[in-house]
Amino acid sequence: MFCLQNIFFEPQQKKQLPRAPSACWAIAVVSTNRLPMKKSKATEALRVATDIAAIKAALHQRGYRLRKQPKQPVWKIIITLGPPLTRGETGGFYTLTYQPAPISAWVLHPQDNDIRRQTLETIIQSALKKQPANPIRTSS
């Protein structure tokens, strides 16, 4: 220190900012409370495409027809087989819908206790069970 006309000067030192005592704690909270990674839309779209391909193949093999609704993950399942229809009753159809995340499930409407619906549910469930859990992409 030296004095210049009654003004005291100290040599300049690098000043460090004070550390926050909770900085380490905040980092620990962030790392332990991480949310699981979301699946990308492309991954989910690929899974839906492989699921519906398997479902369509299984239903077509048993005589059902499917029609895709435009711009929606909705398919109309047209029933062409089944018990004889009573007078005035036409064919019939069910609607198969994919509910995106957070549900991520297939839903069959209308929900009734008809034997035809139970048959459709069984076919769809067996087609989905035959799908591999993680489709593996191979390079060409």
**What's the CATH code of the domain at 56?**
3.30.310
Per-residue confidence at 45, pLDDT binned at 50, 70, 90?
Answer: confident
Q: Are 92 and 79 in contact (CB under 8 A)?
A: yes
What does the alpha-carbon distance between residue 108 and residue 121 come to, in Å, rounded to a whole number? Answer: 8
Domains held by the chain: number: 1
pLDDT exceeds cutoff 70 at 84? no
Give the structural domain span for 114.
41-129
pTM: 0.61
Better-scored residue on pLDDT, 27 or 125? 125
How far apart CA 85 and CA 64 sit, in angstroms, is 16
12, part of any domain: no
Lowest mean pLDDT among 31-40, 89-98, 108-117: 31-40
11 within a domain of the structure (yes/no): no
Residue 29 has pLDDT above 50, yes or no: no
Question: Assign residue 120 a region: left if phi > 0, alpha if psi is -120 to 50, beta otherwise?
Answer: alpha
d(CA 39, CA 58): 27
Residue 29 lies in a domain: no
Q: Residue 135: inside a domain, yes or no?
A: no
In a domain, 9, yes or no: no
Instruction: Check pLDDT > 70 for residue 36.
Output: no
The pLDDT of residue 40 = 79
